[in-house]
C-alpha cells in the first residue's frame, strides 16, 4: 500500500520569507511524487513531479521540491513566498507499477503581507 503524510495542517509565513511544506511518503516500490496546489473554488493545479534523476526538482511559480530517499521525503520549497501563494497544497505519490495516486491530507499555506 502507498500513503502520504503531510504533518502540518497549516503553514504561516511572511511575504518574502522562505516557504517549506513537508511531505513524507510510503510505497513498496520506486515512488513517483507530485505536488498540486488548490486555490479557493478551483480545481487542482499541477506544480511539479519527481520521477527519476536529480533530487531537486523545479516546477511552476518558482516552486521546487527535494526528493530524499533515505528520509522518504519530498518537501516543497519556495525561496521567497508571495501573498498569492496562499492556497491548499497537496502532496501525492504513486508506485511506479500502479496508476493510482494517493494524496496527503493537504497543508493550508497562508502568506501574510
Partner 1 sequence: SAVISQKPSRDICQRGTSLTIQCQVDSQVTMMFWYRQQPGQSLTLIATANQGSEATYESGFVIDKFPISRPNLTFSTLTVSNMSPEDSSIYLCSVEESTGGYYNEQFFGPGTRLTVL
| Nearer to partner 1 (CB atom), residue 32 or residue 63 | 32
Question: What DSSP state is assigned to residue 97?
Answer: T
CA distance 29 to 66: 19
Give residue for cell 516552486: 63
| Nearer to partner 1 (CB atom), residue 15 or residue 102 | 102
Minimal distance, residue 78 CB to partner 1, in Å: 19
| Nearer to partner 1 (CB atom), residue 56 or residue 96 | 96
| Nearer to partner 1 (CB atom), residue 72 or residue 108 | 108
SS3 of the chain: helix, strand, coil, percent, to 5:
5, 55, 40
Beta carbons within 8 Å of 52's beta carbon, 6+ residues apart: 30
Three-state secondary-structure class, residue 76: strand
Minimal distance, residue 57 CB to partner 1, in Å: 12
Minimal distance, residue 59 CB to partner 1, in Å: 10
- Residues of this chain that interact with partner 1 (CB under 8 A) are 32, 34, 36, 41-46, 49, 51, 90, 94, 96-101, 103-106
CA distance 63 to 65: 7
Minimal distance, residue 90 CB to partner 1, in Å: 7
Amino acid at each position: 500500500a502507498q500513503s502520504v503524510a503531510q504533518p502540518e495542517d497549516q503553514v504561516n509565513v511572511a511575504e518574502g520569507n522562505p516557504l517549506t511544506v513537508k511531505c513524507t511518503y510510503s510505497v513498496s516500490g520506486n515512488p513517483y511524487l507530485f505536488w498540486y496546489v488548490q486555490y479557493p473554488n478551483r480545481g487542482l493545479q499541477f506544480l511539479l513531479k519527481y520521477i527519476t534523476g536529480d533530487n531537486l526538482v523545479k516546477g511552476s511559480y518558482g516552486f521546487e521540491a527535494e526528493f530524499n530517499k533515505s528520509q522518504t521525503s519530498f518537501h516543497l520549497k519556495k525561496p521567497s513566498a508571495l501573498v498569492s501563494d496562499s492556497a491548499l497544497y497537496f502532496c501525492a505519490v504513486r508506485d511506479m507499477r500502479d496508476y493510482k495516486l494517493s494524496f496527503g491530507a493537504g497543508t493550508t499555506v497562508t502568506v501574510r503581507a
